[in-house]
């Protein structure tokens, strides 16, 4: 339906009324009045439609929706399908596209159905219904929403009665969708409202075999009360299971149906119970479970049978049970309540004892029913030769009888059967032999007429045992942990006999729970009662014991140790056979002595093939795994007892094993006020038990060394302190530091340091055969005592604090720090040893050597003291003034060298920003002496002391570089930045390289001059002049680095960041310029149009532009161009001399030459081809007069 505005509607009405003017004058006057009103209101003249024509298209079609301000109107959208084909969707807006894209997540529903109630009456094939609907609608403001009601198969008989929600100005209406035929509720409400309405409707009732009425309702709680004109009928709702259907009869005997549903689509069917069905289509699906404990016991079948009839409700059917079976009770209809309802059984044929007639009660007849009953099948000890023929109950005359069978047997028997048709075994392979107290077997049959021969086979019992012995060896004792696992014990407890030999103090418990197990000792054997766990697996047994290690006397050459391995002897009651499958022995040690196994002397012992893998797995479960196989072998060794039931004996020796540690060392020294605090942290990992003690050494400063170092510091500072006083002070400081005590913690628990006496040191030297006299003179040895020192991972922390007294006459103070180190023969360092130096608020800590680094790295443990320098912190950078700076750069094919010479005034930190900090080699001298420096990110920092007012700093940098491309860009490797005086940059390049461009902002301190026939550039100042400008105070302190011979250039600027140049080799320049000259010559030669003055102007302008942008390159290009032009002139001269001059009798005049060089070659009337000139003939006066344009040559 198309919409038009009001003016157009009135205009159309006027046109339609004009055809009936003769019928009514009053009507005509009204039309004229209306037409006049429209014209006055619209203000636009209109014309009548000519007769016999159609209305204009713009009247019938709706006017396009005007676009909003600043937006484009959307008339449709283009989409791409899976084949990348464009599809146009007209009338699609972007909002609608978003709704479709969101799909199920677009929750824009603004209504909820409350209830639907239908009351009706059925007469013949017509049903008259009263439908009452309640809907909760959210506020819609001025918008009208459409609420689908479905019910497309219902027909409304009258107007809709709104009994709720029509107040408060709400707009409500019920309409029919033109496309689907569904009813829709159109609602526009101001606030949330419960809308209730009632409709009188009719529907068609199908009366084919049974009466049927379709319901197509909205999703809501629905109640249907329907009165039928049929009597003694049964109602059913096919293919739905959630509806509640009640059938009753009124006083007149008419059937009444009450349906409680959740809405949707369903069909209510009803019909008479005794209506004959010519051919019922019955299908039966049975689930049969049977329990068979022994061959003598009868076989009980629990049957759950589902019977279906696709043609209507089931009233009765015939049931056939297996031959010889008997019903234990009557079948029950379990679909009629919690406890079920018994059905009526009868004998349709007295001669057939297995056939029964099952009759369903009237009000329980449905298309699908479920019956439950039990059968008993006698069993006469069936065997493999005389099996039991198993059959199942079936529905006689059914189209299909199928189902499943589940047979459960006891643990002492297994079910056996013969394969037959129509039945197959579906028992999983793993479940068939599962070790449980009951075994289950499942089958599936697809036809009821089958016979499955089955019988029970007795189970053979076997008791299978495996053991694992873990023996942990210590210095003087051994601990045993033996775990026994048994499989195959069916349904009773079992006695295990274990021979522990001379192992003492046994403790026997459940390996899973730790609960003690009952046991007793009999004939030197341990009898253990193993209980049954409900499966074929018994409770695992854990035996713990210990024994001492006794060696032979020391005077004997053979000092061996023997260890008996506990073994399983057998089951105590001997009721079932026992099989020992495996006996594994694991040896591990934690003491200072290692047990070396002698396999030749040991009995019934073999190395296990998977010893290494087993050790890895065991270490990974409880300890930290290591990648060293040798250490794994020392920790855990795996052996196998062969044969497993034999009495094995381990023979070996105890060998002393020195401590072996893996050490990760970190340390830091920090200054807090006047306290110098040293913190050393060890992360130790050892496979050997340290037994609570570790020998360490702490270096102490030597008095002579400290005095010399202090005197050197005093002399280097130029102070007037007395050397003897400094020496005595250093000696006193060393004596004080020798008395300091270190505080130690092991795993965050306090430990103790015990000084080693001279007697203990002598014993150690005698035991180890080493002389540590020199080392003892510089280090003091201690024993670190802590119960936390064992095996595995440990953290040891040393803390030492001493007071530092600063001398007001000396600017720096030299101290020596001793770092503890362990005295162990086998030490493995993990990573490097780092010493971090942390200064205080007013002082910095640096190494005694000339270095500003705050971190020292050692490759090995420092066994001597580490000299450190404590100096006042340098003042702010603003107190250091930078004067003139000279940067000298030398370029070669593979490297670049820079020398930065600067004059400084004051004290502070001199900084340079490096271009390639990670790749640059650095050397710094200050006032002619090597100076310390440090790297802070990309910056090079040099500390300038305050001993002098004027300083000269020399920084030399080297870096490898690769030359690539036609031209190379060169810039200094370091930048000082703004805030300095005048800067000079001297650039030296190889002899075959020339400067082609430099930054325009820098000054060129060069002059041009002639070197024979070439123009060259020479610096205005020599190197000596440059150094004298920078080092005005002490020029002798500067040592210039040698520069290679080549082309030198000098630049000046106020900011060294603007220094940048570009150089090119002589070969590249020649190739470029010569190539350009050849190209221009070829163009001028073969393209005559370019031989005009404009080409010369272009060339002059290009050269002037090059001269303005890159004057250096312009001069080089000019020189090479002149040389190239000279070569061109020489070649042309040679060409004229070599090539002969063509002998021509006649030459063309100027007019002919001009005509021949033009593009449009026009031939004169008397033109003669050149070939005619080459013909020999006599020339007479008449020939000369004929051609006025020819002259004699």
Q: Quick one: pLDDT band at residue 655, thresholds 50, 70, 90?
A: confident
Asked whether 114 and 136 are in contact (CB, 8 A), the reply is: yes
Asked whether 403 and 370 are in contact (CB, 8 A), the reply is: no
Angle at 68 (CA atoms; ends 64, 74), nearest 5 degrees? 55
Q: Quick one: pLDDT band at residue 556, thresholds 50, 70, 90?
A: very low
Please determine, for residue 1173, whether its predicted confidence score (pLDDT) is greater than 50.
no
Q: How far apart are CA 561 and CA 458, in angstroms?
A: 51
Per-residue buried b or exposed e for 143-171, using 16+ beta carbons within 10 Å of the residue's own CB: eebebebbbeebeeeeebebeebbeeebe
Q: Which helix (H) or strand (E) holds 233?
A: strand 233-236
3-state secondary structure of 1089: helix
| 630 vs 1007: which has the higher pLDDT | 1007
Quickly list DSSP for 545-586. EEEE--PPPTTSS---EEEEPPEEEEESS-SS-EEEEEEEEE
Q: Write the pLDDT tens digit of every residue in 1026-1075.
A: 887 887 767 676 778 888 888 888 888 888 888 888 888 877 777 887 78
Query: Quick one: CATH architecture of 110-272?
Result: Sandwich (2.60)
Smallest CA-to-CA distance from 286 within 400, 129, 147, 365 is with 400
Domains 282-458 and 877-1066 agree in fold: yes
Pairing of strands 111-123, 221-228: parallel
Q: What is the mean pLDDT of residues 624-649?
A: 67
Query: Quick one: CATH architecture of 877-1066?
Result: Sandwich (2.60)
Asked whether 215 and 268 are in contact (CB, 8 A), the reply is: yes
Please determine, for residue 19, whether its predicted confidence score (pLDDT) is greater than 50.
no
Residue ranges per structural domain of the chain: 6-60, 110-272, 282-458, 463-656, 660-871, 877-1066, 1069-1137
3-state secondary structure of 1113: helix
Q: How far apart are CA 1113 and CA 163, in angstroms?
A: 100
Quickly list DSSP for 259-289. EEE--EEEEEEEEETT---SS--EEEEEEEE
Smallest CA-to-CA distance from 133 within 216, 222, 215, 259 is with 222
pLDDT given for residue 759 in this prediction: 59
Percent with pLDDT over 70 in the chain: 74
608's tokens: 């296990």
Q: Which helix (H) or strand (E) holds 90?
A: strand 86-90
Total number of residues shown for the chain: 1193
Q: Quick one: pLDDT band at residue 52, thresholds 50, 70, 90?
A: low
The listed range with the strongest mean pLDDT (56-60, 299-303, 1038-1042, 1156-1160) is 299-303
Residue with tokens 């301190």: 1005
3-state secondary structure of 672: strand
853's tokens: 């680094």
Q: What is the mean pLDDT of residues 315-330?
A: 89
Contacts of 11 (CB under 8 A, 6+ apart): 35, 38, 46
Average pLDDT, the chain: 77
Q: How far apart are CA 884 and CA 984, in angstroms?
A: 8
pLDDT given for residue 705 in this prediction: 45
Q: Looking at 313-317, 652-656, 857-861, 1108-1112, which range is the least confident one? A: 1108-1112
Q: What is the mean pLDDT of residues 323-342?
A: 78
- Phi, psi dihedrals of residue 161, rounded to the nearest 5°: -105, 110
Residue with tokens 């300091």: 740
pLDDT given for residue 1189 in this prediction: 40
Please determine, for residue 1123, whether its predicted confidence score (pLDDT) is greater than 60.
yes
Smallest CA-to-CA distance from 368 within 439, 305, 434, 289 is with 305
pLDDT given for residue 130 in this prediction: 95
pLDDT given for residue 1184 in this prediction: 45
pLDDT given for residue 882 in this prediction: 84
Quickly list DSSP for 616-643. HHHHHHHS---S-HHHHHHHEEEEEESS
pLDDT given for residue 1163 in this prediction: 54
3-state secondary structure of 610: coil
The listed range with the strongest mean pLDDT (41-45, 95-99, 645-649, 793-797) is 793-797
Q: Looking at 200-209, 536-545, 881-890, which range is the least confident one? A: 536-545
Interhelix angle for 1111-1138 vs 1093-1109, to 10°? 150
Q: Write the pLDDT tens digit of every residue in 900-936.
A: 988 888 888 888 989 888 888 998 888 888 888 888 8
pLDDT given for residue 106 in this prediction: 47
1023's tokens: 């190197």
pTM here is 0.43
Residue with tokens 């007795």: 458
Q: Which helix (H) or strand (E) holds 1073?
A: helix 1066-1086
Q: Looking at 90-94, 205-209, 525-529, 695-699, which range is the least confident one? A: 90-94
- Phi, psi dihedrals of residue 337, rounded to the nearest 5°: 150, -175
3-state secondary structure of 730: helix
Smallest CA-to-CA distance from 605 within 587, 588, 589, 585 is with 585
Q: How far apart are CA 939 and CA 69, in angstroms?
A: 59
1053's tokens: 């600027």
Beta strands per DSSP E along 139-180: 145-150, 155-156, 161-164, 171-176
CATH class of domain segment(s) 282-458: mainly beta
Q: What is the mean pLDDT of residues 564-586?
A: 76
Please determine, for residue 430, whether its predicted confidence score (pLDDT) is greater than 70.
no
pLDDT given for residue 1169 in this prediction: 54
Residue with tokens 């081809």: 1169
Give Cα 212 distance to the centre of its chain: 60
Please determine, for residue 199, whether its predicted confidence score (pLDDT) is greater than 90.
yes
pLDDT given for residue 186 in this prediction: 92
- Phi, psi dihedrals of residue 873, rounded to the nearest 5°: -70, 140
Asked whether 603 and 689 are in contact (CB, 8 A), the reply is: no
| 769 vs 148: which has the higher pLDDT | 148
Residue with tokens 């001399």: 1137
pLDDT given for residue 314 in this prediction: 86
525: which strand partners? 522
The listed range with the strongest mean pLDDT (128-137, 253-262, 1094-1103) is 128-137
- Phi, psi dihedrals of residue 101, rounded to the nearest 5°: -70, -40
Q: Write the pLDDT tens digit of every residue in 262-280.
A: 888 889 888 875 555 457 8
Q: Quick one: pLDDT band at residue 452, thresholds 50, 70, 90?
A: very high
Q: Quick one: pLDDT band at residue 557, thresholds 50, 70, 90?
A: very low
Q: How far apart are CA 652 and CA 551, in angstroms?
A: 10
Q: Write the pLDDT tens digit of every residue in 965-985.
A: 678 888 899 988 776 778 899
Q: Quick one: pLDDT band at residue 103, thresholds 50, 70, 90?
A: low
Give Cα 272 distance to the centre of its chain: 68
Instruction: Give the full edge-to-edge strand order of the sheet including 525-530.
Output: 519-522, 525-530, 494-499, 567-571
Asked whether 1054 and 882 are in contact (CB, 8 A), the reply is: no
pLDDT given for residue 149 in this prediction: 92
Asked whether 262 and 219 are in contact (CB, 8 A), the reply is: yes
Asked whether 484 and 496 are in contact (CB, 8 A), the reply is: yes
Smallest CA-to-CA distance from 219 within 135, 139, 152, 130 is with 135
pLDDT given for residue 448 in this prediction: 86
Of 3.40.30, 3.30.230, 3.30.1950, 2.60.40, which CATH number belongs to 463-656?
2.60.40
Give burial (CB, 10 Å; 0-12/13-18/19+) of 355.
Answer: middle
Asked whether 508 and 517 are in contact (CB, 8 A), the reply is: yes
Angle at 29 (CA atoms; ends 23, 31), nearest 5 degrees? 85
Q: What is the mean pLDDT of residues 560-565?
A: 88
Give Cα 138 distance to the centre of its chain: 46
Give the gyration radius of the chain's Cα atoms: 57
Give burial (CB, 10 Å; 0-12/13-18/19+) of 934.
Answer: middle
pLDDT given for residue 552 in this prediction: 45
DSSP alpha helix (H) spans, 302-442: 429-432
The CB density around residue 50, as the number of other CB atoms within 10 Å, is: 6
Q: Write the pLDDT tens digit of every residue in 818-874.
A: 899 999 888 888 888 888 888 887 788 888 776 666 778 888 888 888 888 888 776
Residue with tokens 């529905």: 395
Q: Quick one: pLDDT band at residue 313, thresholds 50, 70, 90?
A: confident
Q: How far apart are CA 51 and CA 506, in angstroms?
A: 124
pLDDT given for residue 1142 in this prediction: 58
pLDDT given for residue 1013 in this prediction: 66
Distances in Å between the alpha carbon of 496 and those of 163, 505, 577, 1011?
Answer: 88, 18, 12, 113
| 312 vs 758: which has the higher pLDDT | 312
Please determine, for residue 694, whether its predicted confidence score (pLDDT) is greater than 80.
yes
Distances in Å between the alpha carbon of 125 and those of 203, 216, 1122?
Answer: 9, 18, 118
Q: How far apart are CA 1076 and CA 365, in angstroms?
A: 109
Please determine, for residue 307, whether its predicted confidence score (pLDDT) is greater than 60.
yes
Residue with tokens 């209980």: 531
Q: Write the pLDDT tens digit of every residue in 480-500.
A: 999 998 876 555 567 788 898
| 21 vs 807: which has the higher pLDDT | 807
Q: How far apart are CA 122 and CA 1021, in angstroms?
A: 124
pLDDT given for residue 635 in this prediction: 65
pLDDT given for residue 250 in this prediction: 85
């Amino acid at each position: 339906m198309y919409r038009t505005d009001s003016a157009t509607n009135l205009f159309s009405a006027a046109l339609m009324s004009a055809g009936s003017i003769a019928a009514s004058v009053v009507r005509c006057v009204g039309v004229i009045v209306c037409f006049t009103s429209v014209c006055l209101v619209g203000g636009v003249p209109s014309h009548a439609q000519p007769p016999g024509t159609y209305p204009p298209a713009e009247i019938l079609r709706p006017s396009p929706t005007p676009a909003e301000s600043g937006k484009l109107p959307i008339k449709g959208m283009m989409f791409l399908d899976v084949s990348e084909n464009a599809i146009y969707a007209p009338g699609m807006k972007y909002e609608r596209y978003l709704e479709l894209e969101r799909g199920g997540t677009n929750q824009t529903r603004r209504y909820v159905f409350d209830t639907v109630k239908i009351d009706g009456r059925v007469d013949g094939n017509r049903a008259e219904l009263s439908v009452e609907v309640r809907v909760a609608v959210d506020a819609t403001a001025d918008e009208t929403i459409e609420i689908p009601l479905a019910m497309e198969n219902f027909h409304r008989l009258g107007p809709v009665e709104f009994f709720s929600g029509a107040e408060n100005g709400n707009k409500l209406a019920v309409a029919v969708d033109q496309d689907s035929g569904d009813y829709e509720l159109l609602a526009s409400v101001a606030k949330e409202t419960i809308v209730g309405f009632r409709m009188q409707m009719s529907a068609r009732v199908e009366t084919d075999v049974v009466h049927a009425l379709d319901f197509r309702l909205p999703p809501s709680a629905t109640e249907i009360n329907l009165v039928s004109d049929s009597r003694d009928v049964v109602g059913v709702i096919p293919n739905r299971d959630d509806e509640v259907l009640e059938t009753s009869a009124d006083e007149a005997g008419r059937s009444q149906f009450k349906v409680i549903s959740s809405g949707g689509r369903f069909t209510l069917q009803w019909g008479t119970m005794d209506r004959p069905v010519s051919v019922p289509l019955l299908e039966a699906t049975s689930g049969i479970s049977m329990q068979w404990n022994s061959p003598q016991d009868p076989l009980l079948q629990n049957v759950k049978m589902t019977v279906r009839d696709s043609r209507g409700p089931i009233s009765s059917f015939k049931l056939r049970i297996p031959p010889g079976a008997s019903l234990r009770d009557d079948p029950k209809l379990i679909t009629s309540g919690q406890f079920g309802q018994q059905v009526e059984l009868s004998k349709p044929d007295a001669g057939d004892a297995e056939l029964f007639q099952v009759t369903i009660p009237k009000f329980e007849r449905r298309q699908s029913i479920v019956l439950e009953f039990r059968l008993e099948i006698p069993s006469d000890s069936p065997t493999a030769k005389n099996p039991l023929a198993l059959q199942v109950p079936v529905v006689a005359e059914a189209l299909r009888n199928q189902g499943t069978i589940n047979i459960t047997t006891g643990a002492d028997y297994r079910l056996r059967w013969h394969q037959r048709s129509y039945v197959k075994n579906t028992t999983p392979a793993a479940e068939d032999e599962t070790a449980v107290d009951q075994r289950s077997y499942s089958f599936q049959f697809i036809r009821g007429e089958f016979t499955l021969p089955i019988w029970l086979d007795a189970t053979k019992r076997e008791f299978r045992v495996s053991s694992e012995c873990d023996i942990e060896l210590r210095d003087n004792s051994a601990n045993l942990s033996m775990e026994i696992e048994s499989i195959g014990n069916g349904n009773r407890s079992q006695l295990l006999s274990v021979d522990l030999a001379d192992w003492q103090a046994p403790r026997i418990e459940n390996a899973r729970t730790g609960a003690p197990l009952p046991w007793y000792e009999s004939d030197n054997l341990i009898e253990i009662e193993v209980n049954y766990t409900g499966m074929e697996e018994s409770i695992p047994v854990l035996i713990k014991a210990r024994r001492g290690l006794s060696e032979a006397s020391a005077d004997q050459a053979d000092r061996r140790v023997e260890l008996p391995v506990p073994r399983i002897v057998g089951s105590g009651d001997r009721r079932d056979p026992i099989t020992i499958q495996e006996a594994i022995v694991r040896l591990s040690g934690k003491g200072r002595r290692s047990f070396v196994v002698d396999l030749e002397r040991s009995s019934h012992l073999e190395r296990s093939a998977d010893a290494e893998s087993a050790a890895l797995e065991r270490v990974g479960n409880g300890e930290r795994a290591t990648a060293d196989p040798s250490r794994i072998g020392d920790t855990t060794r795996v052996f196998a007892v062969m044969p497993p039931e034999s009495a094995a004996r381990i023979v070996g020796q105890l060998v002393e094993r020195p401590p072996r540690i893996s050490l990760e060392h970190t340390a830091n020294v920090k200054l807090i006020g006047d306290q110098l605090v040293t913190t050393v942290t060890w992360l130790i990992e050892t496979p050997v038990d340290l037994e609570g003690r570790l020998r360490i050494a702490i270096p102490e400063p030597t008095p002579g060394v400290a005095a010399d170092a202090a005197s050197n510091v005093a002399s280097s500072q130029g102070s007037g302190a007395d050397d003897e006083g400094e020496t005595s002070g250093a000696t006193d400081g060393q004596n004080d530091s020798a008395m300091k005590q270190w505080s130690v913690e092991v795993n965050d628990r306090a430990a103790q340091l015990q000084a080693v006496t001279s007697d203990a040191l002598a014993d150690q030297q005698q035991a180890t055969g080493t002389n540590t006299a020199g080392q003892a003179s510089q280090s003091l040895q201690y024993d670190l005592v802590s119960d936390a020192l064992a095996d595995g991972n440990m953290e040891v922390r040393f803390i030492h604090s001493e007071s530092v007294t600063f001398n007001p006459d000396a600017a720096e103070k030299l101290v020596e720090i001793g770092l503890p180190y362990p005295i162990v023969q086998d030490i493995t360092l993990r990573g490097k040893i780092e010493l971090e130096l942390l200064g205080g608020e007013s002082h910095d800590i640096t190494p005694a050597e000339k270095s500003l680094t705050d971190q020292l790295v050692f490759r090995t443990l420092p066994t001597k003291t580490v000299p450190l320098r404590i100096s006042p912190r340098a003042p702010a950078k603003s107190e250091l003034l930078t004067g003139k700076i000279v940067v000298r750069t030398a370029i070669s094919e593979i490297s670049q060298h820079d020398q930065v010479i600067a004059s400084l005034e004051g004290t502070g930190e001199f900084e340079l920003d490096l271009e390639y900090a990670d790749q640059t080699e650095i050397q710094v001298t200050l006032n002619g002496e090597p100076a310390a420096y440090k790297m802070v990110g990309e910056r090079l920092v040099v500390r300038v002391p305050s001993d002098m007012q004027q300083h000269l700093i020399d920084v030399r940098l080297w870096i490898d570089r690769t030359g690539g491309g036609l031209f190379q860009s060169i810039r200094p490797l370091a930048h000082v930045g703004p805030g300095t005086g005048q800067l000079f940059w001297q650039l030296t390049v190889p002899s075959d390289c020339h400067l082609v461009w430099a930054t325009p902002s820098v000054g060129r301190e060069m002059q041009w001059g002639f070197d024979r026939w070439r123009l060259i550039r020479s610096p205005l100042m020599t190197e000596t002049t440059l150094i004298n400008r920078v080092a005005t105070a002490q020029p002798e302190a500067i040592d210039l680095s040698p520069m290679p011979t080549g082309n030198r250039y000098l630049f000046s600027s106020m900011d060294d960041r603007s220094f940048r140049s570009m150089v090119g080799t002589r070969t590249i320049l020649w190739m470029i310029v010569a190539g350009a000259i050849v190209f221009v010559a070829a163009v001028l030669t073969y393209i005559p149009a370019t031989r005009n003055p404009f080409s010369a102007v272009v060339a002059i302008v290009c050269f002037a532009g090059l001269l303005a942008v890159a004057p250096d390159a312009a001069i080089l290009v000019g020189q090479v161009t002149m040389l190239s032009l000279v070569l061109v002139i020489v070649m042309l001269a040679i060409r004229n001399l070599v090539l002969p001059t063509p002998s021509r009798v006649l030459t063309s005049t100027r007019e002919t030459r001009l005509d021949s060089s033009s593009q449009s070659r026009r031939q004169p009337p008397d033109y003669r081809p050149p070939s005619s000139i080459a013909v020999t003939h006599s020339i007479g006066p008449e020939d000369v007069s004929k051609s006025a344009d020819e002259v004699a040559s």
